[in-house]
Structure 1
Amino acid sequence: MSETRNRRTEEIMRATLELGQEIGYAKLSIEAVAARAGAGKHTIYRRWPSKGALFLDSLLSLNEPGLDYPDTGDIIADLRTQIRAAVDLLSGPPLGPLYQALVAEAQHDPQVAAALNERFITPQADKTVARLKKAREQGQLSPDFDLDLAMAILSGPLYFNVMITRQRLTHDYVDRVIDALFAGMGVRPPA
């Protein structure tokens, strides 16, 4: 990709995010993005087949740091650190409303749903499962600790609050979810 094309792509994605924050996803249009970015509609449609695809790429282009797991040797502390960082990033302004809109769009657009799952949700879930697996291998979790079920228990309440009840997630809520997971599934006490 040429430098000019890269710069144009960045301008379009920046305009998309700015407009998304200003007017919300529902009112966002390719025409408005084109006008803000100083690009033609056809330029945008050649790169993105839909508003949802453009929005997804724009949001994921931010490459926000902090969603990788630390490994301090304490799985509970590491989960708290990473999940709190994710909650801080994805539940409040400016990204929270944009992420909520993207997940909502994914409910209606199978291409956006597949791309969101492939490019964000699955990689984050894989990181969580890998960290839990390492903790299990290190003896911090019982050998029969169900990694996939743990992932579902950790993410389900968070997505429920963000997408269904629209309640702001707090560190206290994250801590309660983690505590409930390990109380229910069992953690070996530190040696």
Structure 2
Amino acid sequence: MRSDDVADPAARRHHGNRHGRSEHARRAVLEAADDLLVEKGFAGVTIEAIASSAGVAKQTIYRWWSTKTDILLDAFLQDAAEDLAVPDHGEVGADLRDYLSSLTHFLTRSDAGAVLRALLGQAQHDPAFAAVLRARFLDEQHDRDRLVIERAVHRGQLPADLDVPAEVDQLVGPIYYRLLVTGDRIDEHFTDRLVAAFLQRAGRS
């Protein structure tokens, strides 16, 4: 077996499909990085620790990523794509309540949320990484945050001249403010009040 293959019996039994072995190794690295961050915090995550936990050689990691931050970002993006699906119940109030509840759970109680908080902290003193984080996640997340409202405008459930960006800021901004600044509790009562205030502004209360 090559030294940069996954060092476990399942991988050794996998023959004739190099891509399969590589994908197995890649996913093992992403999962190991996630687990280490939750267990030890950002400073405790190293390439060496990730390689050991994932059962791969460091050369395997450097085949795909240059830094631990790159690995954590890829791990986070994979989780975000899976966990932040935008609901479509056909009614804007129900959709927003469901989406903000899911977003809050993702940010505050999931391992992926811990990864995001670490990445946002890193971005504060690394302008180059901040640009990457914005391009690869924050812009896409902003599109997700807008989707429920944009869909409702297209359906005629909300005014066509609604200032969608401003309304999105007022819906999700308080969640991020509590998450990153005050540390105040974010619960369903809080997010439901955000939705109720939006519906009143939009003439839907």
Q: Normalising to structure 2: TM-score of the pair?
A: 0.80
Shift of 1:79: 0.6
Corresponding residue number in structure 2 for 1:154: 171
Code of the residue aligned with 2:25 in structure 1: it is: R
CA distance in structure 1 between the partners assigned to 2:133 and 2:160 by the alignment: 32
Corresponding residue number in structure 1 for 2:196: 179
Code of the residue aligned with 2:202 in structure 1: it is: G
Code of the residue aligned with 2:118 in structure 1: it is: A
How many equivalent pairs are there?
Answer: 188
Corresponding residue number in structure 2 for 1:72: 89
Match of 1:45 among 62, 84, 88: 62
Corresponding residue number in structure 2 for 1:36: 53
Kept in 2, the 8 Å contact 1:56–1:102? The answer is yes
* Cα pair distance change 1:81/1:112, threshold 3 Å: same
Kept in 1, the 8 Å contact 2:34–2:112? The answer is no
* Cα pair distance change 1:64/1:128, threshold 3 Å: closer
1:99 correspondence with 2:116: yes
Relative contact order: is structure 1 or structure 2 higher (C-alpha 8 Å, sep ≥ 6)?
Answer: 1
Kept in 1, the 8 Å contact 2:153–2:159? The answer is yes
Kept in 2, the 8 Å contact 1:56–1:112? The answer is no
Shift of 1:147: 0.7
In structure 1, list runs of 5 or more residues that go unmatched.
none
Alignment map for 1:92-171 (pairs within 5 Å):
92-171=109-188
Code of the residue aligned with 2:64 in structure 1: it is: R
Corresponding residue number in structure 2 for 1:58: 75
Kept in 1, the 8 Å contact 2:86–2:147? The answer is no
Corresponding residue number in structure 1 for 2:31: 14
CA distance in structure 2 between the partners assigned to 1:7 and 1:186 by the alignment: 48
Identity fraction in percent: 32
Corresponding residue number in structure 1 for 2:100: 83
CA distance in structure 2 between the partners assigned to 1:38 and 1:134 by the alignment: 45
In structure 2, list runs of 5 or more residues that go unmatched.
1-17
